[in-house]
């Protein structure tokens, strides 16, 4: 078999694997949309109460000139806050792992920050930052921080002691061992925290915008609600879902590029 033939064979095999893995999800989505459309067509509920998928698509097309700039703003705020949370979360997790004083001082504060409802602190950010995107970015970063910190701590705590012993026996410093050995071993768990955070960043950004902003999906959603444009409310929801899915795919791609597939961690002798 030629190289081209082997490559084509592997590509076909991956395609078949993807179809087997995702067809139940696709079938479920198609079934829900079909039932939803049939039910609305049969019962004719007021469009202000619920819209059919076809009405949502039509409204989305009509409003695309205002939808995409608003979505871009929310996307920018969410990604910026998420990246800040990733960097700060890993550094805080490492610091708390290495220092009992840092743990005693910072971890209770991080825990308390997660119990605060967004609606109670958003007015403060409006006072501090006004209606500018910087306030929304900070809010996203604050709310996305905790899962990354916790999973970084837990991942580092779960690293077997012999990794450090071997590295330092070979002459490595504790700092080198921490950043080149421990973090690499804990990376899979850290990415778990990153995925948890990624699932909420755009919803957090849109909610913060809804409470006060100049533009963004939150403001766009508020305008749709105030004018009883129910199809557009569904549109904003679906756009947030799509952006979240894309971010999760990006996190997965980065994970695979940096530390490989989870299947690579399996012990071949365990089969």
Report the number of distinct structural domains present in the chain. 2
| Residue 135 within a domain | yes
268 within domain boundaries: no
* Domain match, 106 and 186 both: yes
Q: What's the pLDDT score for residue 14?
A: 67
Given a contact cutoff of 8 angstroms between Cβ atoms, the answer to whether 209 and 136 are in contact is yes
Query: Do residues 24 and 114 share a domain?
Result: no
Q: For residue 97, tell me if it sits in a domain.
A: yes
Same domain, 35 and 64: no
Average pLDDT, integer, range 237-248: 94
Please tell me whether residues 170 and 239 are part of one structural domain. yes
Same domain, 242 and 220: yes
* Same domain membership, residue 178 and residue 160: yes
- pLDDT tens for residues 178-231? 777 888 888 899 999 999 999 999 999 999 998 888 889 999 999 998 888 999
**Looking up tokens 């005693």, which residue turns up?**
104
Indicate whether 143 and 212 sit together in one domain. Answer: yes
Contact between 102 and 174 under an 8 Å Cβ cutoff? The reply is: no
Question: Considering the domain boundaries, does residue 63 fall inside one?
Answer: yes
Q: Would the pLDDT of 20 be above 70? A: yes
168 has pLDDT over 50: yes
> What's the domain range around 81?
51-262
Which CATH number goes with the domain that contains 59?
A: 1.10.3720.10
Give the pLDDT of residue 114. 76
Q: Are residues 155 and 78 in the same domain?
A: yes
Confirm if 167 and 177 have CB atoms less than 8 A apart.
Answer: yes
Residue 233 sits in the same domain as residue 103: yes
Residue 89 shares a structural domain with residue 66:
yes
204 and 124 in a common domain = yes
pLDDT above 70 as % of the chain = 90
Q: Is residue 267 part of a domain?
A: no
Residues with Cβ within 8 Å of residue 227, at least 6 apart in sequence: none
Long-range contacts of 9-18 (CB under 8 A, 24+ apart): none
* Residue 21 pLDDT class (50, 70, 90 cuts): confident
Based on the number of CB atoms within 10 Å of its own CB, is 1 exposed (0-12), middle (13-18) or buried (19 or more)? Answer: exposed
């Amino acid at each position: 078999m030629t190289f081209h033939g082997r490559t084509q064979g592997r590509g076909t095999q991956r395609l078949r694997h993807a179809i087997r893995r995702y067809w139940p999800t696709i079938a479920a989505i198609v079934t829900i949309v079909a039932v939803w459309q049939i039910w609305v067509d049969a019962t004719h509920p007021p469009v202000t109460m619920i819209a059919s998928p076809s009405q949502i698509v039509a409204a989305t097309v009509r409003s695309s000139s205002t939808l995409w700039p608003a979505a871009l703003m929310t996307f920018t705020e969410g990604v910026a806050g998420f990246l800040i949370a990733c960097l700060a979360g890993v550094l805080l997790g490492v610091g708390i792992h290495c220092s009992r004083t840092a743990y005693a001082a910072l971890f209770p504060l991080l825990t308390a920050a997660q119990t605060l409802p967004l609606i109670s602190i958003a007015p403060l950010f409006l006072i501090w930052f006004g209606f500018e995107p910087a306030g929304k970015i900070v809010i996203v970063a604050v709310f996305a921080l905790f899962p990354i910190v916790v999973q970084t701590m837990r991942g580092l705590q779960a690293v077997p002691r012999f990794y450090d012993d071997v590295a330092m026996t070979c002459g490595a410093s504790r700092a080198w061992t921490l950043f080149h050995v421990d973090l690499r071993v804990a990376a899979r768990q850290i990415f778990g925290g990153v995925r948890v955070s990624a699932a909420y960043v755009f919803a957090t950004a849109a909610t913060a915008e809804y409470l006060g902003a100049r533009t963004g999906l939150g403001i766009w959603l508020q305008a749709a609600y105030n004018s009883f444009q129910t199809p557009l409310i569904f549109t904003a929801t679906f756009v947030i879902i799509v952006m979240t899915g894309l971010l999760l795919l990006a996190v997965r791609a980065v994970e695979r590029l940096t530390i490989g597939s989870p299947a690579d961690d399996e012990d071949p002798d365990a089969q």
